[in-house]
Amino acid sequence: MSDALYGTYYPSIDAKGRMSFPNKLRDILGPEFYLCAGHDDNYIAVYSPEEFNVYQGKLNTIPGRQGSIIRRKLLACTDKQIPDKQGRIFIASQLREHAKITGDVVVIGAVGHAEIWDKALWESFNNDVSFDDINSALENLVL
């Protein structure tokens, strides 16, 4: 993937789990992409095929039973999506349950992948992180 994914988008999602995926992100991800359970929070990670291969490769480096358990849990509900002519994708119920999507959604770009969040969970997460926290974490970096 040559371009990074950035921005915040507020698409609509219907009761059946269909949503319009943002054009700007689709243009970067390509004509098909993978939806996976987010591993560090309740969101859905969206990867281009290339980035998904990198992600799988990293998961494959986790040895033994622990690696098997992690791969099973994270990849069991992975779903390849090809947006329809209107740019809509379908989010399977397993992924909606993982992300606790009950109403409106937010899609964010997170450089190498995109994330789909339940809007209320995103707002809670976003409100819990202050620029003071960010400044403190970046204090020793030269930007």
Per-residue pLDDT, averaged over 29-46, amounts to 94
Pick 131 or 108 by higher pLDDT. Answer: 108
What share of the chain in percent tops pLDDT 90? 76
3-state secondary structure 83-141: CCCCCEEECCHHHHHHCCCCCCEEEEECECCEEEEEHHHHHHHHHHCCHHHHHHHHCCC
Q: Is the pLDDT of residue 14 over 80?
A: yes
pLDDT in tens, 56-100: 999 999 999 999 999 998 899 999 999 999 999 999 999 999 999
What share of the chain in percent tops pLDDT 70? 97
Calculate the average pLDDT of the chain: 91
Pick 109 or 138 by higher pLDDT. Answer: 109
Residue 128 class from Cβ within 10 Å (0-12 exposed, 13-18 middle, 19+ buried)?
A: exposed
What was the pLDDT predicted at 25? 95
What was the pLDDT predicted at 137? 74
